[in-house]
Amino acid sequence: MAPSALLPTPPSPISVPDPVPRILVPERLSPEGLALLRSSGFKVDTPPPPPSPEALLAQIPAYDALIVRSETKVTAGVLAAAGRRLRVVARAGVGVDNIDVDAATARGVVVVNSPSGNVVAAAEHTIALLLACARNVCRADAGMKAGRWERGRLVGVEIARKTLGVVGLGKVGMKVARMAKGLGMRVLVFDPYASKEVAGQAGVELRDELGVLLPEVDFLTVHTPLLVSTANLLGEKELRSMKKTARVLNVERGGVYNEEALLRALDEGWIAGAGLDVFTSEPPVEGSVAAKLAAHPKVVSTPHLGASTVEAQENVSIDVCTQVVEILKGGLPTAAVNAPLILPEEYRRLQPFVRLVERMGSLYTQHFAERGGMVGGRRFELVYHGELAGMNNTRPLFAALVKGLVSSISDLGGRDVNIVNATLVARERGIAIDEKHVRDGGTVPPVYASAVTLRSLAPGQEGGEQVIEGYVSGNAIFISKLDRFRANFVPEGTLLVLHNYDEPGKIGNVGMVLGKHGVNINFMQVAALESGTDKAAAAAAPPVVDRLVDSESRAAREALMILGVAGDITEELLGELGKADGILHVSLVRL
């Protein structure tokens, strides 16, 4: 479950209901994924795949989300045509080289993928190609179907006791390594980022350089993404350094091997064979090097089947569709390519704090807006205390604050804010936010293991600081300070916050007014001035000074009456409360 600070916020009275989000799925997606999207209340369009670039440009402005596989190209032009409506692009698979991630990030569009959904399928296909190459399975099958019995010409090799080289020890590379170990192979690995401890636990041997690994292996498989640093990773020099009996495999991305060099290596006998599932152009263009490789007699070629199992298609589809649903609801994705990685343990620890910070932001806007505290143009400090201060990845908390601050003053209720575009939204609204980590506890009472302070000050203004503090207990969230008043209440539901003089009869009078208007009180708390609050500062508080009684004793008894209520809160009711004797200000807050 995603943190509620990035989940939908109940619409405030001034929010305009947004239309039902629309999702474009221009490529085949498993029925389970489509059903998940539709059951979540979204409109899902599935035009015949794949769309032409012109068609996609024309269609995309009407959609909030786009889900693609590998054929649809999500270019900077497509993202520009989408305007501000598009919130998420999802790749039902691992690689995102068909998506302009930088352009998406610049526009605040979340890009998600499914890094784990097809791990087993890709690893199994690698092993299938390895065995097919070793035992000439495909040539034998073709010969049998053509009526030829070529038993003597198709002698293969055993893979037990042979050496497999694995370049890239990620999820798929690790799975392949373990499968190969199970088949009795020795496994060597080249990955400059691999942990020696993890490699040791898996029973594989690390090599510091690719050039050291290549001459040792009988089979080579590459499991790296296609990046500038990995394009043409294996060229003529590398292929010439291998055994003439070696065979190479690629179930990751076309272009990691230099295709021209690989074709020469096969033609001239530098290596014995290849198993290829991916190519630089898919399908290979007739007459191209990729096409010649696919048709080569020493190559076992398949049409990008690495993730093409029923189970993998269901896994990646459900994975990315679940993330799309969360994002469209304001939730936190689990595999955002252009957002910081949220580890499971961090996710669990941050979850209640994300909810707390969002509520603090929304409380700030609704309580202080009429009191000189408009959001735009103000500077905010978000201060983390205690154990929370030790968290390095607080990006979700930053996004939660922005979402909370704008939720009651935006048409979408803040549901368009996510961890990718939060900085952009804040900048557009003139909101400056500084994050601070106070690891020594600061002024936070020791009873709170972790706490958060939200502080706001208008630029160039002396005084007028506005503060909200909160903490988490278990999975419950509490506000412990609102402005100059110490409190302890749960920020949820409909709240009436009355700034008043704490005098006999106040509670009864307020209760009578609410009862007359048919409004029930769910809970009530009186928050007193914080100990040591400066009386002069109290008397100079917000623009209600004209209603303050010129009496130090009365000003010193200021308090907040915080009421959780249920019922129709009308302007007439708010006006009647505001005119009552000793009531300085009334705020209606919906959380």
Indicate whether 550 pLDDT > 50: no
Count the domains in the chain: 4
Judge if 165 and 201 occupy the same domain: yes
On whether residue 192 sits in a domain, the answer given is yes
Q: Is 253 a catalytic residue?
A: yes
Judge if 40 and 128 occupy the same domain: no
Judge if 264 and 165 occupy the same domain: yes
On whether residue 163 sits in a domain, the answer given is yes
Judge if 398 and 295 occupy the same domain: no
Last residue of a domain, one of 432, 450, 482: 482
Judge if 296 and 315 occupy the same domain: no
Q: How high is the pLDDT of residue 17?
A: 40
pTM value is: 0.58
Of the candidates 22, 240, 264, 304, the residue annotated as catalytic is 304
On whether residue 41 sits in a domain, the answer given is yes
Last residue of a domain, one of 459, 482, 505: 482
Domain span at residue 400 reads 342-482
| Among the ranges given (128-132, 195-199, 290-294), the one the predictor scored with the smallest mean pLDDT | 195-199
Judge if 196 and 250 occupy the same domain: yes
Indicate whether 210 pLDDT > 70: yes
Contact 364, 400 (CB under 8 A): no
On whether residue 349 sits in a domain, the answer given is yes
Whichever domain contains 428, its CATH number is 3.30.1330.90
| Among the ranges given (53-57, 364-368, 372-376), the one the predictor scored with the smallest mean pLDDT | 372-376
Of the candidates 27, 236, 282, 381, the residue annotated as catalytic is 282
| Among the ranges given (77-81, 180-184, 361-365, 372-376), the one the predictor scored with the smallest mean pLDDT | 372-376
Q: How high is the pLDDT of residue 368?
A: 85
Q: Is 282 a catalytic residue?
A: yes
Query: What residues have CB less than 8 Å from 266, skipping those under 6 apart?
Result: 273, 274, 293, 296, 298, 299
Judge if 478 and 512 occupy the same domain: no
Judge if 138 and 255 occupy the same domain: yes
- What is the side-by-side strand order in the sheet with 110-112? 43-45, 22-24, 65-68, 88-91, 110-112
Judge if 269 and 125 occupy the same domain: yes
Contact 544, 538 (CB under 8 A): no
Average pLDDT, the chain: 84
Which residue spans within 336-462 are E strands per DSSP?
A: 379-386, 432-438, 450-457
Banded pLDDT at 7 (limits 50, 70, 90): very low
Whichever domain contains 563, its CATH number is 3.30.70.260
Banded pLDDT at 13 (limits 50, 70, 90): very low
Banded pLDDT at 503 (limits 50, 70, 90): confident
> Half-sphere exposure (CA, 13 Å, Cβ side) for 554?
13
What is the rounded CA–CA span in Å between residue 374 and residue 203? 60
Banded pLDDT at 8 (limits 50, 70, 90): very low
On whether residue 105 sits in a domain, the answer given is yes
The strand pair at 494-501 and 485-489 is best described as unpaired
Tokens of 195: 């942990």
Own/partner pairs, 39-42, CB within 8 angstroms, 24+ separation: 40/325, 40/328, 40/329, 42/325, 42/328
Radius of gyration of the chain (CA): 31
On whether residue 334 sits in a domain, the answer given is no
Q: How high is the pLDDT of residue 414?
A: 67
Judge if 438 and 556 occupy the same domain: no
Of the candidates 125, 186, 253, 590, the residue annotated as catalytic is 253
The strand pair at 273-276 and 247-250 is best described as parallel
Indicate whether 412 pLDDT > 60: no
Whichever domain contains 284, its CATH number is 3.40.50.720
Judge if 475 and 508 occupy the same domain: no
Alpha helices in 16-75 (DSSP H): 31-39, 53-59
> Which of 181-185, 376-380, 442-446 has the highest average model confidence (pLDDT)?
181-185
| Spatial CA neighbour of 239 closest among 209, 273, 262 | 262
Judge if 471 and 369 occupy the same domain: yes
**Residue holding tokens 């994002």?**
327
On whether residue 335 sits in a domain, the answer given is no
